[in-house]
Structure formats: structure tokens, C-alpha cells
Amino acid sequence: MLSLLWLKGLIARRSARLVGAMAGVMVTVALLASIGSFIAASSASMTRRALTDVPVDWQIQLAPGADVAAVTSALGQATSYQALAEVGYADLSGLSATSNGTVQTTGAAKVLGLSPEYTQLFPSELRLLIGSMDGVLLAQQTAANLQVTVGDFVTIQRIGLDPVVVQVAGVVDLPQADSLFQAVGVPPGAAPQAPPDNILLLPADQWHALLDPQASVRLDSVRTQLHVRVAHDLPSDPESAYTLVQQRARNLEARVAGSALVGDNLGARLLGVRADALYSRVLFLFLGLPGVLVAALLTVAVAASGADRRRREQSLLRVRGASSAQILRLEGLEALVVGVGGVLAGLVLSVAASPLMGAPVAAADMAVLWLVVAALAGLGLAAGAVLIPAWRQARRPTWAGIRTAIHVNRSPLWQRAYLDVLLLVGSALAFWQMANTGYQVVLAPEGVAQSSVAYQAFLAPVCLWLGVGLLALRLADRALDRGRRVVSWLAQPLAGRLSGVVGASLRRQRELITRGIIMVALAESFATSTAVFNTTYNAQSRVDAELTNGADVTVTGSTASNPGGLLPQLASLSGVVAAQPMQHRFAYVGTDLQDLFGIDPLHINDATSLSNAYFANGDARATLAALAAQPDGVLVAAETASDYQLQSGDRISLRLQSSTDHQYHVVPFRFIGVVREFPTAPKDSFLVANAAYVAEQTSNSSTEVVLLRTSSESTDVAARVRTLTSGLAGVRVTDLGSTQRSISSSLTAIDLRGLTQLELAFAVLLVGAAAGLVLSLGLAERQRSFAILAALGGRSRQLGAFLWSESLLIVVVGSLLGVTLGFGVAQMLVVLLTGVFDPAPEGLAIPAAYLVALLFTAALTAVLAVLAAVAAARRTLVDALRDL
């Protein structure tokens, strides 16, 4: 009965306190549930994408003499599958062809035997460049080496048998050559095997007719693989999906008892994805948890703002004979109302906000777990915010509770122990250690089923956040205590002759004021660090896509299909701002064939962006200027420079294919620097040189690539470019937007927009709450003081002097501190999460508009809180006087 009475009273008379605390719990729960749902949904999306990305899930290599039917049957028992094709692999001594009266001969080659339906079953393995898919196909590089094209004849040099001649029906690109020619069954951690330089593809019947006899001569030169797309009935979590796929592969190997080995491409892909998934989890937690913490602190602050009133209520209850247990039961009722109400509202809010994130809350089974975790956290927070202070109060003697809370305490333990300084030193040490020892946040070693996150990476930003927060608390407290004259002087414009009294008032209420400052600072730091990191991330995601794609729109052809010939037309297309041709050739560095990019160093920047991070000296402009000044200059990969002990100015000899005789000839270059990344360049070694010099030395002025910078939507421009280049066989047009959406090799492929939009919205809410709610609840708690001030004859302007000074102090100092801390944390996150970025950003991107909106929100809510407090002091004067 008493409980019901108390509850009724709370709802009727303390609704602001209840709703305030409930709102804090709601935001905490909603933020936590949303982050969790996003983590679950993004993991599921990464798994889904991995499943569709893999061209062939399993390549089952049969032992010589193994029974294909038996292995197929075992496969059906180990797992269900969607597609299966038998592929023959055979080694050749080489290939040769006659062109323009000269005979071109290659070294060792591979020949595949493909069934007619293979390209339908596994479409992403082959891409037809010219000719027809029906018949003998040559890989592009092999066709170039042999100088043959569709209709030409190629001689197959079989091992131990007579050569045979076949006619080329088409030239293809093998985009997945690395996995297609992987060495199946090598131990984990073995160096990856490069795909063969020379590849021929035969229809299965023809392959069997020509190569089956070779098996009887050299058994080990002929193998059979089963290419399989397994059923994708896998868990949404990449780690679990990887484990299941691996178990099925092992199961199959056990069933066939040594007669086949599984090349588990799907498992390998999921292995990579689980690292990305862990990265994403770390990233989202890094970004989101401070927000959750701020929301929780706000809840505690809101609950604490009623401490004086609560103290009086408890004292009255005890005076009237209520036991501590009874008091705690009543407080527990309040905690329960706050907790249940806040949790329900938070869950509803997170579900309502899910469309904003672009991922449904129930997108993954893990999402339910996150909702439960969020709900429990909300209940725990309500209990902690309401019950713990009540319990502590209930243990005090009655008379102590009646006294008010304005008093000068001994410094708290953390101040006496210099915890703030220790945390900052700890943060600096952790950061220094992390940034200088080549650590990895996510450890996912190949061949190891379990991946892990180096959670100690959290230490530096967490310690920084807490350390700065506590240090600010100490300094603000100290400044208000000892800097009364300065504070009074600062309050002069607002308070006039009352400035001294206002300064004294601020000094004695410094506990409340520093609490407000810290709340605003933490909320603003969360908002700032999220916004800055998000802007940097998005900018870098674009850089990543531009690096992969080359430019806004990239036209890629070949020496024969030369898009450079259409340069004037491309440049004059609507939406094209600049067009730059670029050669993409191949050059031998010793025996290593590397990609060679020929550019115009003075104008390449017109069409694409070259980041300083692309070059070892960290200066793109200087490197390009040096290349322009040295016509035979060449930039090489760090690995090449190291292998050949190159020093700047060294002469190096590369072999380039000449257009006059199609032979590779030595061309002298001068080493001028190291390049790490370059638009469209592969991850491994490549070269960058002056296009004019390459053209002169190879008697070939073709430009295989054209880079376009656009002023409008790159996808639209790409469509126009496709129409223009439709006459050029094999020309490929790619655009930045599509590339940005399709990159799956790095974490920047994850679309953070949904989550960050949500977090940024919450951040604005938290800043508003910190500046407005904490202030107005604090002011409401001191309503009596304002009523006395009004009763003494204080006019609105004079009453406002106290309130404006206080709110200005809270908002201005809190914002300054928060924005500075936010930038610091963002910078730290960018350095610590270097693995997320490819390439690493040169600096932080500043979301100016958002920051202005944030500060405006803080200022606006503070102004509203003060205006409301002034109005309330006047409105409730008579009521307050009745209590005096």
C-alpha cells in the first residue's frame, strides 16, 4: 500500500526526475542496442558478401588415379552443393606461335580443360576480351607474349609427347588466376604461389583427347579438380561460418581418405572476413561506447540532481519511523519504474531508428543477444543511478540528511591519488607502445581457427578520455575555487555590480558546475570524435576507392584497344573535368614481371588524386616534380628497391616489349624514389615512369588507361563513356561510386553511414541533454534559492546574471574541453586503427558544419534551460514563498 502511495506521489510530483532518468536509460539502451544490432547486421552482411564474392568455393584436387564418382559421392555426403564442374589441369613444356614470320616461344605453361557449362556455373573465373568462348582460349598475357589473336594457331608442347596445334577462338582475362592455380594441400603459412605466366584453356573433350595420353607418360603432370559451389546455409557470423565450412572440408577429406584434398577458397575468404568483422566490432565499440558511457553518466547526473530532495524525503521518512529496508524498497520501486520504462522506450527507439542505420534490428541472430544485453545494462544502470545513492544515504544518520549539500569537502580519493595524471601517463605510454611497435588491433593468423582482438588497444583512448575528464574536473574545481576574482571579472558584463556575489556563488557551487562542465565536455568529445573519425573514414574510403579505381571514372583498354585514342572525345564529354592518359604496360625487373605505369607527372593530378602517403618520402608533389625533371626516371616499389639495394640516381635496366618486334628489350632507367601505392596499381610490386620516355623507348605511344575527373555523378559519366567506347573491343569502364560500393578487401568497404548517422544524432541529443537537462535539473533543484532572490527584489535581469554566468561557464568551458578532447581521441583512433585505412589518412578531416551544429545545439539548449528557469522562478515565486 505504501509502495503504491509512494509511486503515485512520484508520478504526480516528481515526474520530471522520473522522466529525466528514464530518458537517460532510454538513450543508453537505444544506443547500445543500435550499436549491437549494427555489429550483428554488418557481420552478417560481410558474411553474405564473402559468400557471393568467392568464384569457386572449393577446388577439390583429386589424387592421381582417384575415382571422380566416389569423390563426388563423398562430397554429397559431406555437404550439399549448388554447382559442380570437373576441371583438368596439365603442365606443358611451353607454347609457341608464328607471327610475322618469327616464332614466339614461351616457357612452361598450364592448360586447363573446361566443360561447356563451366562459364555459366562459375562466371567470374573467366572474362572474354575478344573472340568467342566456344573453343580454345588464351589468357591475355599469353596472347601478348605469343603475339597471337583470335584465329591464329598455337602449338602446344606436351611433355613427352608430340606437339599439337590448336586454333585460338578467344582471348580471356582470368581475374581469379591466383586461386584458380593455387597449390592445393600446401601447409598453412606457405608462401603464396604465383599463377603461371602462360595459360591455355581447352574444351574438356579436346583436353582429354590431347592430355590424357600425357598422364600415361608423366602422371604428375596431369591433375583433375572438382570445382564446387557449396550450399550457403551458413551462420551469419563470419567466425562461425568459417568454422563450419572448415569442418565440412575436413569431413570430406576424411571421407575420401587421401584420394582428394580440398582447396577451401570459401574458408580462406571467410578467414579474411572474420578479421574484418572483428575490426568492425572494435571500431564500432571504439566509436559507440563513449556515447553509451556519456548517456549512463547523464542518467546518474539526472538522478543525482534530485539528491537534496531525496535526502529530505528520506529524512522525513526516517523521522516518521520508516526502516532502512522500507526506504530502500521505495527507492527500489523508483529504480524499477525508471529501469523498465527506460528499457522499453530504448528498445522501441532502437527499433524505430533502425531504418536510419540501413539495417533492420533483427537482421542477424546476434542482434537478439545485443538487445538482451542492452536491456540488462539499462536495468543495471537504473538500479545503479537510483539505488546506490539511496542506499548510501540510508546508511547515514538522520540529522546529517537534513543538512544541505553546499559544503567544502576534503578532496576525493582520486584527486589525492592523482588518478587523472596516472591515467594520462598510462594513455601516453599505451599509445606510444601501440604506435611504435607495429602492433595489430586484430590478430587473425592464417590457419588458426580463432582470431583475436588486441583489446589493450582500447587502453590509450579510454585512459585519455577518463584522464582528461578527471583532470578537467580537478582543474575546473581548482580554477573556480582559487580564481574567484577572475570568474567575477568574467561575469562583470552579465552581472555588473553583482559580479562579486555571482563569482562567490559559482565558487561555492563548483561541484555542480564542474559536473555540468564535464557532462558537456564528455558529450561533446563523443560527438566530435565520432564526427571527425567518420568524416576522415568517409574521405579515406573515397581515397581507397579512387586508389582502386584510379579516378572518378577509369577507362581501361589494351595496346590494341587504345582508349587514349579517344582522349579528346572523352575530355569533351559532359561532366568530365579533366582526362589524363596513362600507360599500363609490363616490364621485367630481373626475372620478375611487374606492372609499369607511364604517366605525365605534371598533369596526372588533374584527373586523379595522388596522396602524399603513396610515396615513401611523404611528398607527392616533390616526387612527381622529380620524375618530371628526370625523363628516364622511375619509381619502384620498396621491396624492389630493397632487393636490388637501389640508391637514388642508380641506373637500372628494365626489359620492355617493343612494338616494332614485340620482343622485350633492355631499356635503361634511373631510380629516383619509392612508390607505395598508385591509382589502379596492384598491391605488390609495380613501377611508375614517364609516359613519353616509355613511348619513345618502345616505339609505342598507346595509352591503355584514361583517367577522368568528373564534376557530376561518376556513375552517370561512366555510362556516357561506355557509349563512346563501345566500338573498342575489351575496353572496361569503371566508376568510383560502384568501386566504393564493391570493395570488399578492406574495412573501409563497410558502410558506416548508417551507424554514424545514428551516433551523430544521439551525440546531438546527448550534447543537448548535457547542456540543457543537467543545467535545468540543477537549476530546478535550486528553485528555492531563485525564489528567495526574487523575493529579495532581484529583477529578471539580475536573476539571469546568476543563471547566464553559470550556463556560459558550463557550455563554453565544456565545449572547448569537449571539442579538444574529441579531436585528440579521433587522432588517436586514426593512428590506432591504422589497419582500417588503406592508405592511411594524411590528417583528420574536419566536419565543420556538424561541429557548428553541435555547438549551436549546446548553446541553444542552455539558453532554453536558463530562460525556462528564469520564467519558472517568477511563476513559482508564490508557491516557493509558502515554503519559506
Q: Which is nearer to other proteins, 482 or 741 (CB)?
A: 482
782 touches 802 (CB < 8 A) = no
Instruction: Please name which of 700, 695, 853, 630 lies closest in space to residue 763, comparing C-alpha atoms.
Output: 853
Can you list the alpha helix ranges (DSSP code H) found in 320-451? 324-357, 365-382, 388-394, 398-402, 413-416, 419-436
Q: Which is nearer to other proteins, 217 or 878 (CB)?
A: 878
CA dihedral 357, 359, 365, 370 (to 10 degrees): 10
375 touches 25 (CB < 8 A) = no
Q: Which is nearer to other proteins, 510 or 732 (CB)?
A: 510
The three cell numbers locating residue 405: 549539500
Q: How far is the CB of 879 from other proteins (least distance, A)?
A: 9
Q: How far is the CB of 802 from other proteins (least distance, A)?
A: 9
The three cell numbers locating residue 188: 598453412
CB atoms within 10 A of CB 484: 17
Q: How far is the CB of 475 from other proteins (least distance, A)?
A: 21
Instruction: Please name which of 548, 550, 545, 547 lies closest in space to residue 563, comparing C-alpha atoms.
Output: 550
Q: How far is the CB of 866 from other proteins (least distance, A)?
A: 17
CA distance 323 to 879: 31
Q: How far is the CB of 309 from other proteins (least distance, A)?
A: 14
Instruction: Please name which of 815, 788, 262 lies closest in space to residue 528, comparing C-alpha atoms.
Output: 815
Q: Which is nearer to other proteins, 405 or 852 (CB)?
A: 405
Q: How far is the CB of 473 from other proteins (least distance, A)?
A: 19
Q: Which is nearer to other proteins, 312 or 651 (CB)?
A: 312
235 touches 441 (CB < 8 A) = no
Q: How far is the CB of 790 from other proteins (least distance, A)?
A: 8
The three cell numbers locating residue 446: 592464417
Q: Which is nearer to other proteins, 505 or 690 (CB)?
A: 505
CA distance 677 to 686: 9
CA distance 659 to 657: 7
Q: Which is nearer to other proteins, 233 or 883 (CB)?
A: 883
Q: How far is the CB of 403 from other proteins (least distance, A)?
A: 6
Q: Which is nearer to other proteins, 311 or 720 (CB)?
A: 311
Which residues 6+ apart lie within 8 Å of 606 measured at CB? Answer: 578, 580, 709
Q: How far is the CB of 12 from other proteins (least distance, A)?
A: 11
Q: How far is the CB of 782 from other proteins (least distance, A)?
A: 8
Q: How far is the CB of 850 from other proteins (least distance, A)?
A: 37
555 touches 570 (CB < 8 A) = yes
The Cα diameter of the chain in Å comes to 115
Q: Which is nearer to other proteins, 417 or 881 (CB)?
A: 881
Question: Three-state secondary structure along 435-500?
Answer: HHCCCCCEECCCCCCCCEECHHHHHHHHHHHHHHHHHHHHHHHHHHHHCHHHHHHHHHHHHHHHHH
CA distance 493 to 498: 10
Question: Three-state secondary structure along 853-882?
Answer: HHHHHHHHHHHHHHHHHHHHHHHCHHHHHH
Q: How far is the CB of 775 from other proteins (least distance, A)?
A: 16
Q: Which is nearer to other proteins, 280 or 505 (CB)?
A: 505
Tell me how long the chain is: 884
Q: Which is nearer to other proteins, 371 or 803 (CB)?
A: 803
Q: How far is the CB of 875 from other proteins (least distance, A)?
A: 12
Q: Which is nearer to other proteins, 308 or 713 (CB)?
A: 308
Q: How many CA atoms lie within 13 A of 483 on its CB side?
A: 12
Q: Got the DSSP string for 36-97?
A: HHHHHHHHHHHHHHHHHH-S-SEEEEEPTT--HHHHHHHHHHH--EEEEEEEEEEEESEEEE
Q: Which is nearer to other proteins, 166 or 506 (CB)?
A: 506
Q: Which residues bind other proteins (CB under 8 A)?
A: 403-404, 406-407, 497-498, 500-501, 504-505, 508-509, 785, 788-789, 791-795, 798, 877-878, 881-884
Can you list the alpha helix ranges (DSSP code H) found in 483-619? 484-495, 499-508, 510-549, 567-571, 604-607
